[in-house]
A and B are shown apart, each in its own frame.
Chain A
Amino acid sequence: IIRQKNPKKKTYYAAHVMTPLLSAPGEKMAAVQDAPMELDSEKETKPEILSDGTSNLSGNTASGTLSSPPLTAGGAPKQEDQQTLIAVLQFLRRNKLTESVDILRREACLEDQEDSQTLDGSGGGKGDGDGGDANSLLSRVSIASAAAPQSTLTPIPVKSEYDQPDVSVVLSAYSQQGDPSLYQVYYTGLKNFIESVLDCHRAELSQLFYPLFVHMYLELVYNNHETKAKAFFEKFSGDQECYYQDDLQILCGLTKKEHLKGNEALLDFRTSRFVLRISRDSYQLLKRHLQERHNNQIWNIIQEHLYIDIFDGMPRSKSQIDSMSGSFAGETRREVNKAKVFYGLLKEPEIEVPLDDEDDEAENEEGKPKKKKTKKDSMGSKSKKQDPNAPQQNRIPLPELKDSDKLDKIMYMKESTKRIRLGPENLPSICFYSFLNAYQGLTAVDFTDDSSLLAGGFADSTVRVWSATPKKLRKVKSAAELNLIDKESDDVLERIMDEKTASESKNLYGHSGPVYGVSFSPDRNYLLSSSEDGTVRLWSLQTFTCLVGYKGHNYPVWDTHFSPFGYYFVSGGHDRVARLWATDHYQPLRIFAGHLADVTCTRFHPNSNYVVTGSTDRTIRLWDVLNGNCVRFFTGHKGPIHSLAFSPNGKFLASGSTDGRVLLWDIGHGLMIGELKGHTDTIYALKFSRDGEILASGSMDNTVRLWDSMKAFDDMETDDFTAATGHIPLPDNSQELLLGMYHSKSTPVTHLHFTRRNLLLAAGAYNSQ
């Protein structure tokens, strides 16, 4: 079996990871591409060779030795150790017949995640930091010896669809059971202890309740103590934080061992270690308590299923903890967000802007020539200076600018000189596009950047494109008719259009399920749509036909988004991965795996080097397009994330979720820097104004709210120090930052868009009920 699987795995691997990002631009990009890719592939192939030779027995011994060398906390593990670890793990996986896809998911994922998984066996050691705690080490070893084969196998991520054997492996970790009747006693003991500690530690230690509760409950369920599990749940579920409601609801229905097998969410909970961030003092307190009581049951769970990120300093307050927690898998580990992110914007290509004299004169007449002058200068200088935080211009190969793109850029520059400067005293006008007779079927909306087209995705599988200007939509003539056209004539572009087809809107048919995401290409030639039927479709806006159906997600695709430079796009769906595609490849170039639940929304960073995804697991991840790594991991939302928006300068990110809150993030430092409360329902639309001064949010509660994002960002002083501690005090200033709230009668806001002149366009379907 091993022999058979190997080649398959290799080819798959090659197809995906080795795919160069862009084949078109040629040598330049090939050069760029070669270096990092080589490195990657070398690393990945090495373990294969290693593992080929190892036997089952050696695998076991390897796992045994693993637990003994204590690793220093936070420090980089030795390269060689890591290699062996990977090797052994891979062998074991293969031995257990894990599908190769699965491993590839791992590979595509973060390296540190790999670490955490591989280090599972010695997780406690890492947590201890000093590594001096002999006692804990001892207990670890004893456990390891008791259930050695299983416990080291646990880290494999599981897709229940294909790997039944693995499920049992994952679950079997629970088989080492104590007395089920004592679980309540244990939990109560811990509860009493935490309630008795000093206030400053209580909040931090309270974080333990939820993961412990869940794990203990699952253990009870797994070991068939159904009534005990129920009693346990009844007794303690009320103590959990309210933002875990959704998870508890899932849990409460789950009372049988068999149920566990099909439940991906809980398998994920089990496999990913719940991350807690606790100060050193609090942790010592906890440890001492558990050792005194010889409360091994709880200690085991902490060791095996939790990851305790210990930091030096003051224990955090309740509100600080609450602001960051709530995700499915606990908080962010600090080191996860340490990676450098090039959030700066790419240098604008230099384009000769023909100075239009007439235009100038008109401006003068309007009496604001000064303003224009200064603006122009600043724009010019900005584009010439390279932003230190910007990625290399060709870090990601980008398509070359066509003439039409240059024209569009010029248009954009002209428009931007006429842009209204927004601010608290100068709020944007809002123009609301209401969809009538949509019968609750409007599921997605997008505008082109120049606000000339509007696309709507509907639950009846159609995509409709409207012209937002008086200009009608026309198809290109048929091939036969095109032959008759004089190709030399000046207005050939006009001649190829079929006047007979002019209409205000066009329908695009092709999907076989509700369309959940639409996105225009920046050059307005293409439209992407993603649907319940598992495909992403690319439509031509010249012929209004479907060009490609991208198949890859087997489950509903919740969102898709074009890169700001075109060519690439990202999609995310129910299969819990986000995929990066290029329009001319029918297979994805990157698969971003790591989310524990559906990927609900996807957005490209303005510089196209990063992709951000929001998920039902209540986390946000930022992925590097170049190497597929997760470079930022944000927790703090208390509900599935349904909207994301980058600030125009690329430094900040805003996210909105079903809990009605907007969170603001500093990408460079990897910190949450603001919380905007006010909405009472899911936020489906977020958009920064063109200059980033205003953040507009639109929600299911029929309101558009405008926030002073400038103030929110300025108030927050983020430096490297705060980044090191990983948390900053968040002022509760939502009310000050709220600049305006606008109600529609009965129209949930589905999409928001700022025109190039900073007029805010909103769209939604009028709901007559």
Chain B
Amino acid sequence: MPRVASGSGGGGASDSITGALVPFLPDSQDAVVYPLGHGLKPPISRVSISWARGNTLRVSVFRSSPAESDSDEDVGGKVMEVRPGGNVDGQLSDAQWRRIAYGSVSPFALLQSRRNSALSVSKMGLSPSPYHLEWWEYVSEYSKDVSSLLGNPKSSAGPVIEDPKEVLKKVEEPTCLKAAWDLMEMFYADKLSQAWLPERLVDWLADYDSLLSDTQATVYLKLMEFQGLLVTLLVIEDDSRYWEVISSALAVGWLEIAVKMLRLHGSYQLDQLGSRETENGLVEAVAVLISKMPRLRPELGAGKLGECFKTKPDFMKAWERWRAQVTKLESSAFWLQCDHLQTREGLKNMLQIMLGNASILSTATCNWMELYISHILYIRPFTVGLESMYSLAQKCIQLKPMTIPHKLMRLIVGILGENTEVILAECSRDFGTWMAAHAIEFLTAGSDQAEVLLHEERDNLGGINIEELHRLIYAQVLSSHILTWQIAPIYLMSCMKQGMGLLEILLYRQPVQHNQLLVKNLEICRLYELDSVSSNIMKIAGVYHWKHGRKGYGVFWLQQARDEVCLNRIAQQLFNSVGKSISDESFKQWEGLIELLGSESKPSGGLEFLHKYRDFKRSLKQVNDGKITDATQQAVESLMSLMKNTSTPQRFWLPILYDSLKLLNWQERPLLNVSQTNLLLNKLQELSMARLHPDFIEADLPPQALSSVRLALATNLGRAILEES
């Protein structure tokens, strides 16, 4: 690998690479090897590397001397595209990203068309606001459609007979993208559950705590670790880790896990039940209290513990009652009779968690997010409103500062802080362009303030707004892949200012080699009524095919594009090869092309001459010496119409006349009358003048051709005059 020359040896690593365009740290990264299968036979003489589309590199490999190889299979070189590096979210492969991209097209397009119709309704003055009251319902529908694409972590069904020692269920690994989308949906799209937002956050953490383990210590990791130990521990309650883990699970509100683990307590075993009756009673009392915990939410999922209360007054009453029960148990006399130290301490610790002891909550949780959830659950269960939620989060961050903040945590801070710019920046940096382009719908629907911010035209962005900017960026990413470029127009069309211009560039940039791809490209032009773009693409395709020897295809596309200029030019080239290669017999090959040129209504740049020329040659072939037949008459007519027609190229005049010598020298009687012969003589005269011109192209005929034609015409004229007189 190339090493950047360093200026001075002193200072840190960052100092030593001054002058480099891109900081290159030879020790920090291992060289990455991309194997390229070029399949060429050595020796390779030259390799060239340049940027290709998107983030790919184009590598061209050339063999030294392709000329000496005669075999068909040998090629002189090969061009390949290499994609260095990975993608934004390491959890998703390129193919999975594409699947998300495909799937989100329909929800996005539906939402845009609804917005457009809402806007047009408001313009007509029928509704005071562009987004009428139900707008968030549309956003919610959009959000659910998109969310279903991102995977469903809760879908996996558990085993029928549960393993008593399996504390954490194995589920499909959730993705950060899904976690982030759920978070946005929770705060912006789901207006119905705004009242129990804190509880939804609890659920969210339960689903995605495993993701935070990438950079943070988490309760999930603790549990996973302990689960591994579970089979080896004989007396589980003697182990301090057992109590630690239960407290942690309880602190973050994973009640069913806490209860399930409590029931693993040794005192439940039949042989010990007699001797540890009081102890077992206390364990069970705590377990029952946990499972009776009041929750401010409409419902709980299957297997989840707690008691639901939909309204705040009911919840408050229940909460007070429950707290009183906890306090009562805490001050019970039975604790003195419990002689198992760890159990007594552990259970008392759990009661303190339920009573909201801040310092114990802090030790039971591993990061600020978990601490935050535990505060929501046990210290401030009546928290409402983003403002108070944000201040609570700030407090928790101070208590448990992040060493390496996880991207999901940064997003939560942005959302709670109601900072639209931060949210968008986090979306785009950590979750990719797809997220930024699609999540913006949440933000614009979220508040008027955010909508103004995102729709405000900015001079520093060239007059476009932030929403358009992110759509353009996403469209650019889509455009850079051969399979996704077709969906980029959907996003470009939703960009008012720059969209159309970029769409035209995108369409022009597509390769025209493959027929199918070309047709798909033209179809997009048709959908967006870009007739001029479409005709330009057809011209490009026409010239491409023409240059690659597919003359029929070339003519076809140029005809479709109605490009008279190009057709004229290639007509001249085509006539060259007609003059040389077309003998009387080889017209069969030209048949297809001539059929294509067929009807005169289509522009063909003088190529319709070929059609007439073919008819002339065909009738001439049928002419038999001696007898006058229909074919003879037809041949004369074809000759005259060819010579009269202005589109017949001058260079064909002499060959046509030379071909018709047998008509001119007809034995029986002159076939051409005086005026016809005069016309031909005039043409011959014109031709003689033209021959003096330096650009004149001499026909490939015997040297005496001109004189023999002249003689034949003169003879014919004489005979015709005699006959007519």
Q: Tell me, yes or no, whether A binds B.
A: no
Residues in B lying within 8 Å of A, measured CB to CB: none
Residues in A lying within 8 Å of B, measured CB to CB: none
